[in-house]
A and B are shown apart, each in its own frame.
Chain A
Amino acid sequence: MTDPAASGSAPGSAPGAGLSERLTALFWRRPGLLVALLITPPLLWLGVVYIGSLAALLWQSFYSIDEFSGAIVKEFTLKTYAELGLQQNIDIIVRTVLMAAAVTVASVILAFPIAFFAARYARGRWKAFFYLGIMLPLWSSYLVKVYAWKLILAKEGIVTWAANGIGAGPLLDGVLALPVIGGGSLSTSYIGTFLVFVYVWLPYMILPMQAALERVPTSMIEASADLGAGGLRTLRSVILPLAAPGIIAGSIFTFSLTLGDYIIPQIIGSSRYFIGQAVYSLQGTAGNVPLAAAFAVIPIVIMLVYLTIARRMGAFDAL
């Protein structure tokens, strides 16, 4: 393990064997020891830093805030959770979940053809081009991309200019005049928020989807056709069920990243809050850490519910 050249030497080999040989022999006799050594640091990280902070978060959400002094009352109460039930907070949660769902569905629809092409047809140069094309946007700063989109979607931006240029200006105005999702311009509407979310998270959908589609054996697709199935039937009965774990993995990314993001809706969109923004302002300027914690628990609960439903529907049967 420590030295490839030494891995062939057996225990009881020549006396005076080096440290690496002795270690190799030790690990060979006690395979559990190596596994323990490899897995302890990440387990500690996961246990203390990750699970620990999650537990602290959950703990804080059961505290409450004294309405007069603004001080945190460190006593167990469900009062904070009751506050989540206020109409303005419910609105934030529903808005965020709907946006995350819409972004996820759009990502699945956009990502599937790209991932399918990359997994089943792209070879050599095309494959390299695919990876570069998917990864390249991830190399630049998230903030730069979001501000770039603000300019693209602004009233004086290229989208409005292009729409007017091809005579689709009225169409754009019509879309922006729609209630709720419309607004003064794309960059100050939910449509704009949605477009940028889809752009920013799309690679996280394509990559796991492509990996899952690549694992579907060609012979299985051929077998489906051989048994009389047309393309759509094969897609529905063979390809999608077999690629489901990858699609679910991608949707975990797009869904939970949208649920938790507080920068994109801050820069692009109407001024109405998403969960991430609520958490940010509650724990910052408002100093209401318990309510911020209770808000932060919501995405976790939603993801658990989502995964449970996916599991019930057999999305992981092909794993």
Chain B
Amino acid sequence: MTPAVEFSHVSRLFGTVRAVDDVSLTIPEGEFFAMLGPSGSGKTTCLRLISGFELPTGGEIRIFGAPSGDVPPNQRQVNTVFQDYALFPHMSVRDNVAYGPMVKGVPKAKRHALAEEMLALVHLDGFGDRKPAQLSGGQRQRVALARALVNQPRVLLLDEPLGALDLKLREAMQDELKSLQQRLGITFVFVTHDQGEALSMADRVAVFDQGRIIQVGSPSEIYERPATRFVADFVGSSNVLSPAEARALGGADRWASLRPEAIRLLLPHDPAARLSGRVTTVRYLGAGTRIGIEVEGRPARELAVLIPAGQPVPAPGTMVALGWADPALHPMEAAE
């Protein structure tokens, strides 16, 4: 099957800045694909390369097999949900949603019916007459979604669409987007800097850093087997151990990742203890408590440990012993 989107050695330079640097990736049709990375990592530029608002300075992008080089944005079979929603303030919600069909010349009655149908899909029935300014952030987000979906795009691009929403709404929209994508079967390309969002929604995640893709894989691959120190640290802020430290702890002679939640607190003389140290910081997170432990010995360093809710939390200054199962110490592929 032809992939929905294919990048081969794509670069985008702004002056001397390599916003996107030799990126190759393949997004199969029907996939929920997340581009994850810190701000300035090139993920949004990649999205704009697909929508056509940026042109690559090198390489080629194919959309459903067709080279996109000469296709302007208005002729691409992709639609975008913008970060700031970009709803037209002078039009009613209905006219906003009906904008795509209007441009295509669909008669008024028909396009208004289409708009109402889409508004119902995003649970905004009866909001058609309002102006965007009269809606809440979450409702505007849904209008932006309906306005993109009404065109029946083959690929939907979402640029940090949930960034402006509060936590509760964001979680509800995450579930809704996921189920919408499964129902419609459209390819979603989702840009986010929120690792939780990427892991919980996407079929596959690409982790970006400095214009390059560092790792592509399923959420569990990304989380459990990070390829580099950057991925380990950015996704779930893992403890990254140097090759020497990893070797001292019985691992291979490579950089390694040790997830905070994989470490258990033990009694000081438990035979399973691998390290001991002193509690320095305690940060309550609600669903758990993250503590910092200064490990004894050389070289002295800090390890983060996540204690699940309901378990006793040691006070700062307490001496504790640490243990973990062997597979938890994950050696990373990359040399650096």
Residues of B bordering A, CB below 8 Å: 51-53, 72-75, 78-80, 82-84, 86-90, 99-100, 102-104, 147-148, 151
Contacts and interface: CB of A to CB of B under 8 A. Distances in A.
A318 B131 CA distance: 11
For A223, A241, A314, the residue with the greatest tally of chain B CB atoms inside 10 Å of its CB is A223
Given A314-B90, A318-B90, A219 B103 contact: no
A220 B90 contact: no
A194 B100 CA distance: 42
A226 B51 CA distance: 7
Interface in A262-279: none
Given A229-B103, A233-B103, A217 B86 contact: yes
A233 B88 CA distance: 14
Given A219-B82, A223-B87, A317-B90, 7 more contacts: A222-B80, A225-B52, A225-B53, A225-B74, A226-B148, A227-B99, A242-B89
A226 B88 contact: no
Interface of A: 217, 219-220, 222-230, 233, 237-238, 241-242, 314, 317-318
A176 B84 CA distance: 55
- Among A224, A228, A241, max chain B CB count under 10 A is at A228
A228 B104 contact: yes
A226 B156 CA distance: 11
Contacts of B73: 222, 225-226
A314 B74 CA distance: 27
A223 B79 CA distance: 9
Contact of A241 (B51, B90, B151): B90
A217 B84 contact: yes
A222 to B, nearest CB: 6
List the 4 closest pairs (A to B, CB-CB), nearest first: A223-B86, A219-B86, A227-B100, A225-B73
A224 B100 CA distance: 8
B90 A225 contact: no
B108 to A, nearest CB: 14
A222 B81 CA distance: 11
10 contacts: A222-B53, A222-B80, A223-B80, A223-B86, A225-B53, A226-B51, A226-B79, A226-B148, A228-B104, A237-B102
A270 to B, nearest CB: 43
Contacts of A228: 74-75, 100, 103-104, 151
A318 B74 contact: no
A223 B102 CA distance: 14
Contacts of A219: 82-84, 86
Contact of B74 (A226, A237, A238, A242): A226
A318 B89 contact: yes
Contacts of B83: 219
Contacts of A220: 86, 88
B111 to A, nearest CB: 12
Nearest to B72: A225
Contacts of B78: 226
Contacts of B104: 228
Given A227-B100, A228-B74, A228-B104, A238 B88 contact: yes
A223 B82 contact: yes
Contacts of B100: 227-228
A238 B86 CA distance: 11
B191 to A, nearest CB: 14
A227 B72 CA distance: 12
B164 to A, nearest CB: 13
A318 to B, nearest CB: 5
Contacts of A230: 74
Contacts of A227: 74, 79, 99-100, 103, 147-148, 151
A217 B88 CA distance: 10
A233 to B, nearest CB: 6
A314 B91 CA distance: 11
